[in-house]
Amino acid sequence: MMSEYEVTMPGDCMTEFNVKFNGPKESPYEGGIWRVRVELPQAYPYKSPSIGFDNKIYHPNVDEASGSVCLDVINQTWSPMFDLINIFEVFLPQLLLYPNPSDPLNGEAAALLLRDPERYKSTVKEYVKKYATEEALEAKSESDMSEDISSYSDISDGEEDEGVFP
């Protein structure tokens, strides 16, 4: 189903995975590459998946800190008739092409889009160059792995060579 996309599974769970997503053509996001987290709820396809960007994106309807997507079509009008391809070929491209500054998760981006659309576009392009390249994705992956490893605490009373993790 997702054969045209690079899909990775960070763990053993089949309901959580990442999809490499390219910015839509003829938009300020063109040329950008994002890793999008997808979490399928237990009631999928009757309940919508949770979608979030792993690397930073500047957009009124995406929370800059968490990457969470505010997408009414996914959250409120989801239908079991939709599938994951709809998210990556229709919903996310439309979100990036037609941001909704009247329902923002990123108030700064929404205000800038309304106040100065050209400056908004140049800020989007700066984010693309800084956070949405293959190199940025690799660095983010390495950083995430380092954080995961350092989050383990040694429960063996300081004896590091036992390799016991919680």
Structural domains of the chain in order of their starting residue, each with its CATH number: 7-142 (3.10.110.10)
pLDDT > 90 fraction of the chain, expressed in percent and rounded: 62
Active site residues: 70
Higher pLDDT, 82 or 34: 34
Q: Is the pLDDT of residue 111 over 90?
A: yes
pTM of the model: 0.81
126: which strand partners?
Answer: none
Helix axes 117-131, 134-151, angle to 10 degrees: 60
Q: In sequence order, which residues have a C-beta less than 8 Å from that of residue 31 and are 6 or more positions away?
A: 23, 128, 132
**Beta sheet of 16-22, edge-to-edge order:** 7-8, 16-22, 33-39, 50-53
Here the tokens at position 137 are 């994705």
pLDDT score, position 45: 92
Question: Out of 5-19, 86-100, 135-149, which region has the weakest mean confidence (pLDDT)?
Answer: 135-149
Q: Return d(Cα 53, Cα 10) in angstroms, integer.
A: 15
Ranked by mean pLDDT, which of 2-11, 69-78, 82-91, 156-165 comes out on top? Answer: 82-91
Q: Is the pLDDT of residue 148 over 60?
A: no
pLDDT score, position 70: 80
Q: Are strands 33-39 and 7-8 parallel, antiparallel or unpaired?
A: unpaired
Q: Is the pLDDT of residue 128 over 70?
A: yes
